[in-house]
Amino acid sequence: MTITDLAAPEAILPALRVNSKKQALQELAARAALLTGQNERSVFEVLLQREKLGTTAVGYGVAIPHGKLPKLEKLFGLFARLERPIDFEAMDGQPVDLIFLLLAPEGAGADHLKALARIARLLRDQEVTKKLRASRDAHAIYSVLALPPASAA
Q: What is the pLDDT along the chain (153 residues), one digit of tens a residue?
A: 788 889 999 999 999 999 999 999 999 999 999 999 999 999 999 999 999 999 999 999 999 999 999 999 999 999 999 999 999 999 999 999 999 999 999 989 899 999 999 999 999 999 999 999 999 899 999 999 998 765 433
At 97, the amino acid letter reads D
Is there a domain that residue 82 lies in?
yes
Q: Distances in Å between the alpha carbon of 68 and those of 18, 56, 75, 85, 88?
A: 24, 14, 9, 26, 20
Is there a domain that residue 152 lies in?
no
Catalytic residues: 66
Is there a domain that residue 10 lies in?
yes
Is there a domain that residue 51 lies in?
yes
pTM of the model: 0.94
Phi, psi of 88 (to 5 degrees): -125, 15
Is there a domain that residue 128 lies in?
yes
Q: State the pLDDT at residue 151.
A: 44
Is there a domain that residue 67 lies in?
yes
Query: Which residue range is the domain that position 40 belongs to?
Result: 3-145
Q: State the pLDDT at residue 152.
A: 35
Is there a domain that residue 59 lies in?
yes
Q: State the pLDDT at residue 149.
A: 63
DSSP 42-67: HHHHHHHHHHHHS--EEETTEE--EE
Q: Whose CA is closest to 24, among 53, 70, 63, 67?
A: 63
CATH number at residue 114: 3.40.930.10
Helix (H) or strand (E) holding 128: helix 126-134
Q: State the pLDDT at residue 147.
A: 80
Helix (H) or strand (E) holding 31: helix 21-36
The residues, any chain, with a CB within 8 Å of residue 31's CB and separated by 6 or more, are 11, 13, 78
Q: Distances in Å between the alpha carbon of 125 and those of 2, 121, 151?
A: 15, 7, 10
Is there a domain that residue 151 lies in?
no
Number of structural domains in the chain: 1
